[in-house]
Each structure stands twice: as C-alpha cells, then as structure tokens.
Amino acid sequence: MSRSNPDAAGYFLYHSIGLYPGKEADLAAAMAEFARVWAAPDDQQWPFVLGKRQDFIDHWRAILNAPEGSATTCESVTDGLHKVMRALPDGQLRGKRVLVAADCFPSLHFLLQGLAPRIGFTLDTVPLSPGKPWVETDDFLARWGRDVGLALITWVTSTASARVDLAPLVAHGRDMNSLIGVDITQAAGLLPFDVQNPKVDFAISTSLKWMCGTPGAGILHIDTGLAQILDPDNRGWFSQDNPFSWDLDSFAYAPDMRSFDGGTPGAMPAIASLPALRWHAAQDHAAIAARNRKLTGRIIACADALGLPLNSPRDPDRRGGSVMLRLADIAQAKALTETLAGHGYAVDFRGPILRLSPGVVTGEEAIDTLFDVIETTLSR
C-alpha cells in the first residue's frame, strides 16, 4: 500500500520548471511591486524596469563568471542561439559544418536545420552512441574536424541528464579553430559553470529549471572576443550606447552586449524571475549540489532494486541533476506519471523515459514512497 505525499516534497520537475520555498509569495510580491510602479502617475517607470533587468543580468553574470557587458537577455535558448547565428559575419560559416549532437535540445536542431540553407553551412548531427541514450564526448570529438565552423555543445542533455566532458571538447575546438557555444540549460545554477574556464565563445540558458524562474527569461553570454566581430541582426535604438541618439545617419552599436537589445527591452520575464535569482544567490550552492547527488543516488538505488533500467549515466561525474528511467513504452510512462500525480508526485516523461529531478523542495523520504507507488503500479 503506498503512502500518499500531499506537499511539495513530491516535486521532481527541476529539469522542467523548478520550485523553491516561498516562490509563489515572492513572485506575487514582485508582480505587485511592478504594478504599483507601472501604474503610478509619475515618470519613475523606466529607471525601475531597466534597473531590475540589469539586476537580472548581473545575477546571471555572477552564476556564469561572465565579465561585465558580456551578457544580455533573450526570450528562450532557441532565441539566444538565433541571435548569435544571425549576428555572425556574412560568410563566416559558408561551406563549413555546424556540429551538434543528436541529443541536443530538439528546438535548437530545428533552428539550425532552418538556418543551414540560408547561411550556407551543413548541419552535422553526431548520432547517439551505440547502445547508449546519449552521445559520448569521444564520439563528438571524433567528428570534430577543421571544417567545423561552429560546434554547439549540450552541457547536460534533457533526456538522459548526460553531462559532457567539457574541457577536452573546448581544447579540441580551439585546435580546430571553431566557434564553441554551450547550451547550459539543464544544470545551470545546480552545478558550477564558468564561461571563462574553459573559455567558451557563447553560452545560453533559461531561468527555469534549477534557477526556478519564469518563462521568457533567457540569458545569452558572448565572449568579448567573439562579440567584437558580431553584427546583430535586430538593431534598434537600445542597441546603441545612447538609445536617445536618434540621428538617422549616425546609428552606432553599443560596445558590449547591449548591441543585441534592439527595441525597448521586454523586461517583464527578467523582473518576474529576479526573486528566484535572488533566492538562488543566497543559497549554499555546494550544499544544494551535494544534496542533489545524495538524492539522485537514492533514486538509482531504488530503481536498481526494482530492476528498472537507467537512461542516465551511472557515474555522477557524467550526470546532471536528474535521473531518467526507461519504461516499457510511452503508454506505461504516461499511465505511471498520471498515477504518481494522483499520489502527489510531480514527474514527467518523454517517450518511454520517466524523468526524475530532485531539488531543494524534494523530500528525501519522498523518493522511497515514490518508488512504493511505482512498484505497486508496475506489478499490477
């Protein structure tokens, strides 16, 4: 007989949205503050809005160890990649390969597929390693030659939580003279990531997942070396050092990532995500990561006890913050997810893969009770 789990202890969705204690109240307060300022009969709106947006960017810079002026907002990871691709100098990628792994986030593959004929590159997708639900670092390296103009690396995958070995990849990419971008979405804020060590050309994330923010609040870091040669497509008054320079013949890009800002920045998602970023900044990050390691270890032990196959690397150093389990088929994964929801456990599935990501609100004991429900359900 399963024990029910009525509170947030049964939340396992840090690969998706993310939750921290007090999130609802913090978000409500931030939105109420915005409403007060925005509706006030004065002229204090823009200093407030743009100040909060900058605060958001600065919090992300601290997480990424990104220098001042090297980051800006984007709507999503896909949007961030689009901004970079469309800003590359004409001809930079023509006749070259853009390298991605088959387990990159599909949305980024869709974008690159569409851009390939327009920009003139060949999209080369490194297939899944035989017998593995993820692409091994060595297989990615083996395919990375001098004709690769740009490689997009997925730091941690969304269907296996497999983590690449970044240092050798970046070192090889430098030897090949390729641009190197990293999608850090699946572990940003949980595991340390330093854009300067090893130095990457760009990095993209959302504020969802372990950061517990809201949709629309993406972050794009571009190394100052690469930024120098970029020509952002979407240029507007906020792309300038002084947005109020309105002389039609003297447009000039700002000398930093503001050059990507285009028209009036849509600051709402940054404002809404700021409480989560502030909460995150006040935490002991090593302790959160260590607890995640402990909880994921417990999930693996429970899965082993039931004979459920892992869809994630067993080695914690090759994993992000999640454990994925392979069920018989989609129907079983869907039915199990629904049954678990009925017992107060928030999990999800992609195809036959059940995704479990324990974070700050997830209870340690909830893992045992979750597996009680799994055992009972699968044995029916």
Please, which residue, 56 or 105, has the CB nearer to ligand PLP?
105
Give min distance, CB of 73 to ligand PLP, in A.
Answer: 12
Please, which residue, 213 or 275, has the CB nearer to ligand PLP?
213
Task: Write out the two tokens for 357.
Answer: 């990501």
Please, which residue, 203 or 226, has the CB nearer to ligand PLP?
203
Please, which residue, 9 or 220, has the CB nearer to ligand PLP?
220
Give min distance, CB of 57 to ligand PLP, in A.
Answer: 17
Give min distance, CB of 357 to ligand PLP, in A.
Answer: 11
Give min distance, CB of 42 to ligand PLP, in A.
Answer: 35
Rounded-to-integer distance, Cα 294 and Cα 321, Å: 10
CB under 8 Å to 72, separation ≥6 — which residues?
57, 219, 220, 257, 258, 260, 261
Q: Which residue has the tokens 């984007």?
A: 74
- Full strand arrangement of the beta sheet holding 71-74: 71-74, 218-222, 202-205, 179-183, 148-154, 97-101, 122-126
DSSP assigned state of 221: E
* 3-state SS assignment for residue 232: coil
Beta bridge partners of 99: 124, 151
Nearest-10 crossing angle of helices 268-281, 45-64: 50
Dihedral (CA of 363, 367, 372, 376) sign: positive
Give min distance, CB of 103 to ligand PLP, in A.
Answer: 9
Please, which residue, 206 or 240, has the CB nearer to ligand PLP?
206
DSSP assigned state of 350: E
Nearest-10 crossing angle of helices 45-64, 23-38: 150
Give min distance, CB of 377 to ligand PLP, in A.
Answer: 26
- Terminal C-alpha separation, the chain: 12
Please, which residue, 5 or 337, has the CB nearer to ligand PLP?
337
Residues near ligand PLP (CB under 6 A): 76-78, 105, 107, 154, 158, 183, 185-186, 206, 218
Give min distance, CB of 283 to ligand PLP, in A.
Answer: 22
Please, which residue, 75 or 372, has the CB nearer to ligand PLP?
75
